[in-house]
Amino acid sequence: MKSKHFYGVILAGGVGARFWPLSRATSPKQLLRIAGEESLLKATIKRLRPLVPLEKISIVTNSTQAETIMTHLAAGVGARDKKKSRRPISRPCRPEIIAEPVGRNTAPAIGLAALTLLKKDPEAVMAVLPSDHLIGNGRTFLETLRAAERVAREGRLVTFGIVPTRPETGYGYIKAAKGAFKNVGKIKVRRVERFVEKPALKKAKKYLAQDGYYWNSGIFVWKAKTILEEIRLHLPGLYGNLLSMRRGADVKDVYKKIRPVSIDRGVLEKTSNIAVIEARFPWSDMGSLPSLGEVFPPDRDGNVIKGRVVDIGSRNSLIIGSDRVVATIGLKDMILIDTPDATLVCPKERAQEVKETVEILKKKGCMEHASHLTVERPWGAYTVLEKGDNYKIKKIRVEPGRRLSLQTHSRRSEHWVVVSGRARIQRGEETVLIGRNESTYIPRGVRHRLENPSKTKPLEIIEVQNGSYVEEDDIVRHEDDYERGF
């Protein structure tokens, strides 16, 4: 079933600020477990794997997110779902990471990925997939993908056009030219007539009634060679920059000169060598918080309510709670998202402005724009329980068989109390094993390492840090299983 020259390129450079407070700068939308056990990114990889093996999948992101994504793929555990995170880790899944120095929208990212593939395989066909979309019915997805690959092999650009199921005003549309261009099995492939910007409701209703209008999914399949040729034709500046990188120019320097442009605007809207393949799987671009409403079936009042929520008489509202209690009365067409350290409330129709909220938080220096209280690490996760002037309390969870780096702190000491599992602790020259209800002390400046020696049980400790400075960057790593910065 797998085709020799077929590759996956997953675009994962965004933050998804419109998903705040679920998303944070260090915990972008594609890493959220929105619909089930797996993050959108992992689900994207998994969906692809029956056709593309892991070693042929690459993830394009930027250098600030690369480590976060590697950690996420290595860890298999996460912040949001306590019950799930207690499960043993599934085997690690690590596609290649292509890290752009800075994000420059999709055209440069796709160009760079095409360039990278072409070096390995001149006949490479690449499926380009956003990392943060919600897609149902994997079988139909795969059938469509397989058909698209066949068309792409012939040198066409293929876009996935989702068959509309409602008069959606939040998506761009693709208008197919009249008459079928080709059928692959039962799947229609048509020539693209034009791209249509997000329409008003009246137009959207018209599009729904007529044949040949599709939602532009942002999923594409083409040969690396073909897209580079199209970039040469329509974005010659970008093409020049890609060429100079191929000739060995410093990627950072080149990226400074690249201007941001999307593949849609830069290439697809200009070329005539483009087809749309009719896609019939459930799809959402998860563009902003109201998209969450598509993930879960609404109750009879039109609400989607999750978490520890007590509601009286709300309607058509999206209320996503957490472990905290959220009480709502009489909300109408509202969104409420609650996380341990931040809560958002807004009308659905103003959900786009969440992005501005994040900007304000950033300007004010509020760390809630950047990270969650619970932070994933390759060895597990930690949660900040409390922070004072000269102390910080953390709950630290180490997955079975994993260990933190061998490290030193110059400005804080640490008290550790085990509350679950067993810990192997290296402290200076000695190594001790302590169990539940036992404690130890790591003086300032002493080299130490925390390890979970169990093969099955997670280790949980409470850490009380005392010191003149208790931030994350007071750390010197001497050895690390995950090759993080020293």
Q: Which stretch binds a second copy (CB under 8 A): 94-102, 171-179, 212-220, 339-347?
A: 339-347
Instruction: Extract the tokens encoding 139.
Output: 């079988």
**Residue 350 engages a second copy in binding (rule: CB under 8 A):** yes
Alpha carbon separation from 324 to 83, 201, 208, 304, 338 (Å, rounded): 16, 38, 41, 17, 8
CA distance 38 to 21: 19
Q: Is 55 or 349 the residue whose CB approaches a second copy more closely?
A: 349
Give least dist CB 358 to a second copy, A. Answer: 9
312: number of CA atoms within 13 Å, CB side?
A: 2
Task: Provide the minimum distance between the beta carbon of 368 and a second copy in the complex, in angstroms, as a whole number.
Answer: 4
At closest approach, how far in Å is the CB of 351 from a second copy? 8
Identify the CA nearest to 98 among candidates 7, 217, 2.
7
Tell me which DSSP letter residue 421 carries.
Answer: S
AA identity, residue 363: K
Helix 106-120 / helix 236-246 crossing angle, nearest 10 deg? 40
Asked whether position 1 contacts a second copy by CB under 8 A, the answer is no
Candidate list 120, 364, 411, 478; residue touching a second copy; CB under 8 A: 364
Q: Is 96 in the site for a second copy (CB under 8 A)?
A: no
Which of 201, 209, 345, 433 binds a second copy (CB under 8 A)? It is 345
- Pairing mode, if any, of strands 391-398 and 406-408? unpaired
Distance (Å, whole) CA 302 – CA 321: 17
Rounded-to-integer distance, Cα 326 and Cα 334, Å: 14
- Which residue of 90, 169, 183, 390 would you call a contact of a second copy, by CB under 8 A? 390
Q: Does 318 bind a second copy (CB under 8 A)?
A: no
Among 31-39, 210-218, 363-371, 399-407, the segment contacting a second copy (CB under 8 A): 363-371
Shortest distance in whole angstroms from residue 301 CB to a second copy: 15
403 vs 114, 431, 453, 475, 481, CA distance in Å? 37, 14, 8, 16, 8
Name 220's bridge partners: 128, 159
- Of 423-462, binders to a second copy (CB under 8 A) are 436-437, 439, 441, 460, 462
Size, binding site for a second copy by CB under 8 A: 56
Nearer to a second copy, 163 or 417 (CB): 417
388 binds a second copy per the rule CB under 8 A? yes
Q: Which of 233, 327, 433, 476 is close enough to bind a second copy by CB under 8 A?
A: 327
Structure tokens at 188: 């229609």
Residues that bind a second copy (CB under 8 A): 20-21, 308, 310, 312-313, 324-331, 334, 336, 338, 341-347, 350, 353-354, 356-357, 360-361, 364, 366, 368, 383, 385-386, 388, 390-391, 393, 395, 413, 415, 417, 419-420, 436-437, 439, 441, 460, 462, 464, 466-467
